[in-house]
Structure formats: structure tokens, C-alpha cells
Amino acid sequence: MKGFIKLFLIGFLFFDCSAAKAEERKNIKLGFVLPLSGEWAYLGNGIRNGALLAKEDFTAAKNDYAFIFEDNIGLQSHSLTVTNKLINVRKVNALISIFSGVGKLINPLAEKSKTIHIGICSDIEVARGEYNFTHYITAEQGVDKFVERAITIKKTKPLKIGILTANEAGFVSLVDRLKQKIADIRINHIEQFDPNERDLKTVVLRTISKKPDILLLLALSPQLEIIARQLKEFNSKIQLASIEAFGLAADKSLFKGSWYVDAASPDKKFTDRYLNRFNTSVTPGVGHAYDTVRLMMEKFESTDETLVWRAILENKPYSGIIGEVKIDKGGIMKTVPLVKTID
């Protein structure tokens, strides 16, 4: 009888501890607003893959993590719809998005609902408030690196820059920053066009006629490719450059030999592993998505979920897949800008 009671007590204590341990586990939901179909699906699917790889690598989690991917088809109207769904219906703990325009739409929704939001984009306006952050190179970083590289190419001053840019929040912030660099360069022409415009011959011709030393292209596919083909059609020999955009192009072969400023990329070990896992090459933002997810999961593991935003803000510089990342007091995660050439 005594032996039975002893076994019963041990079993009870074991069950009680297990139950307590089970209760400690929390269900954390991360929501993603991405273009998983349409013209920019290759970027959205890359972000999704990077996030999934980060989750697979996080093997010691004490919480349960669910990733919910919503397709915004790259449209701002869809972004609002799926974000409201993620916040109000799926009750996510945090959001991740790409593109500055999308991030700016999500910003007030995240602040109002006190939902953490990290935009993989360059416009620091996306980081306004307590719960919003950005993770990429900033417009200031990108432009400063661009000017630094540009003035080494042609010694005559002022250097004449022509700009062809889509009317998108991230690109607008780059142009605004560039206008402040008049001590080093001169912008001799700017053409801005709607992101949905496909007939760009007129703006291309006007820009060529101004004979800039360097033509800065700021657009996404397929506009980038359309512009490149039209420049070739007009037999233009103007040197092409960009900030971020060439890295986002679906067909980089049209810009062979051109240079651009972009955020750091994952190393070869990671890119090879990614290729083996998903049977496709790393696309822009994959490393940022991986590091963003890892950072979020680490903070949800060690911090009360209502204070994770503060833990991210107070995080010291850390080394991730894309190198050193610094987080400033405004919630801006800065990675190192690099000059890259399309081979």
C-alpha cells in the first residue's frame, strides 16, 4: 500500500510538472504581407523561404510559432485588406512586410493595434511610432554611397545626374535625399512616372536629350526592363546606375556591366544551402527576412510578448546572415550598404 501511494505521488507530481510546463508554451503568430503572385512574386516567395529557413533553424524554441503568409499581389489596396485580416481575425503577434509603400500603409494599423511590424524597406517613415521598424539600408545610406561611388567615375564637377523614377515611397525618399547632395552633384533632369505605366518612350527620350553623365534608374520590374530595352532601341550610351532597383530586377541581364548600391547579401555558405533547400537562387531581402524572423523569435522567447517591441528597440548591434546590423532609437535597423556590379 505504501509503495502504491509513493508511486501515485510521483506520478501526480510528474503530471503536474508536465502540465505546468505545457501551460508555459505560448502560440506566437507571425503574419507576412507579401506579393506571392503577380509580377513581384519572385521577391515575396524569397522572403517566405527566408522566413521558413529561419524557423527551421530555431530548434530550441520553448514557444510554438505559426507563420501566416498573405498575398497582397503587390497592390496597396490588397495590403490593407490582408493586414486587417491578420491583425483582427488571425490575431497575429507581429507583422513583416516588404516595399516602402506597403509599409507606410501598415504603419498606422500596427500602431493602433499595438502589433509589432518590421518592414523590409528603406523609407524610415515606415518606422514611425513604437511598434514599427525597418530593416534594410536607409535612403540616406543608399544615396551617400551612390554619390561616393559616382564622383570617382567622372572628375569634372558638377557631376550631372539624370533620374528616371517610379512614384513609389521608397524611391521618392531616395530622390529627396539626393536633392540634398548639391555640393557633390547636379541633378540635371528628373522624370517621375506612375508605377503602372508601361509606355515610357517619351520620358526616356526627354532624359536622354539632357545628356546626363549617369542615369539613375529607380523602378521595379517590369518597368526597369522596359526602360532598358528602350534605351537600347535609342542607342543610348549613357552609363546606368541604381540604388536597390537593379537587385530587384527580374531580368538582370539587361543591365550587365552596370553598378548599383544595395544592402549586404548572405554569404556563399547560406546561398548554397538556400539553393539546395528551395531549388532556386537567393533573391533580395531573403537574408533580411531570415535575420528579422530570428530576431523576433529570440525576443518572443526571452521577453513578455507585450514588451517585445521594446526589447527589439533596445537590442545591441548584432551579427546576422547579412553581417552587422545596428538598431537606432527610431526603430531603424541599418545594414551595411555595398556597391555591386551586375556581371
pLDDT-derived band at 8, boundaries 50, 70, 90: very low
Q: Are residues 146 and 73 in the same domain?
A: no
Q: Which of 212, 243, 274 is the last residue of a domain?
A: 243
DSSP 255: G
Q: Are residues 155 and 214 in the same domain?
A: yes
| pLDDT of 24 over the 80 cut | no
- Residue 117, domain member (yes or no): yes
Q: Are residues 117 and 47 in the same domain?
A: yes
Q: Which of 243, 276, 309 is the last residue of a domain?
A: 243
Domain of 165? Answer: 140-243
State the DSSP H helix or E strand holding residue 334, giving kind and residue range, or none if neither. strand 332-334
Q: Are residues 214 and 275 in the same domain?
A: no
> DSSP letters of 51-65?
HHHHHHH-TT-SSEE
Q: Are residues 122 and 164 in the same domain?
A: no
**Residue 177's closest CA among 220, 131, 137?**
137
Q: What is the largest CA-CA distance in the chain?
A: 100
**Residue 92's closest CA among 76, 109, 105?**
109
Q: What is the pLDDT of residues 229-278, one digit of tens each?
A: 999 999 888 999 999 999 888 888 999 999 999 998 899 999 999 999 99
Q: What is the pLDDT of residues 182-194, one digit of tens each?
A: 777 889 899 999 9
| pLDDT at res. 75 | 87
Q: What is the pLDDT of residues 91-122, one digit of tens each?
A: 999 999 999 999 999 999 999 999 999 999 98
- Residue 2, domain member (yes or no): no
Residues, the chain: 343
Q: Please give the tally of structural domains in the chain.
A: 2
Among 131-135, 245-249, 325-329, the range with the most confident prediction by mean pLDDT is: 131-135
* Distances from the Cα of 305 to the Cα of 92, 93, 153, 332, angstroms: 11, 8, 50, 20
Q: Are residues 278 and 215 in the same domain?
A: no
- Whole-number Å distance between alpha carbons of 256 and 277: 28
| pLDDT at res. 2 | 46
- Residue 172, domain member (yes or no): yes
Q: Are residues 126 and 149 in the same domain?
A: no
Question: Which pairing describes strands 323-327 and 239-243: parallel, antiparallel, or unpaired?
Answer: unpaired
> DSSP letters of 77-140?
HHHHHHHHIIIIIS--SEEEEESHHHHHHHHHHHHHHT-EEEEESS-GGGG-SSSEEEEE--HH
| pLDDT at res. 154 | 66
Q: Are residues 96 and 184 in the same domain?
A: no
- Whole-number Å distance between alpha carbons of 57 and 322: 16
* Distances from the Cα of 160 to the Cα of 63, 210, 302, angstroms: 55, 9, 52
Cell 522572403 locates to 47
- Whole-number Å distance between alpha carbons of 187 and 65: 49
* Distances from the Cα of 187 to the Cα of 83, 183, 212, 297, angstroms: 38, 11, 8, 44
Residue of 133 and 169 predicted with greater confidence? 133
| pLDDT at res. 37 | 96
Residues paired with 37 in a beta bridge: none
- Residue 153, domain member (yes or no): yes
Q: Are residues 116 and 150 in the same domain?
A: no
Task: Write the CATH number for 127.
Answer: 3.40.50.2300
Cβ neighbours for 233, distance < 8 A, ≥ 6 positions apart: none
Q: Are residues 132 and 272 in the same domain?
A: yes
- Residue 13, domain member (yes or no): no
Distance of CA 178 to the CA centre of its chain: 21
- Residue 343, domain member (yes or no): no
Q: Are residues 163 and 202 in the same domain?
A: yes
| pLDDT at res. 262 | 94
- Residue 177, domain member (yes or no): yes
> What are 4's three cell numbers?
502504491
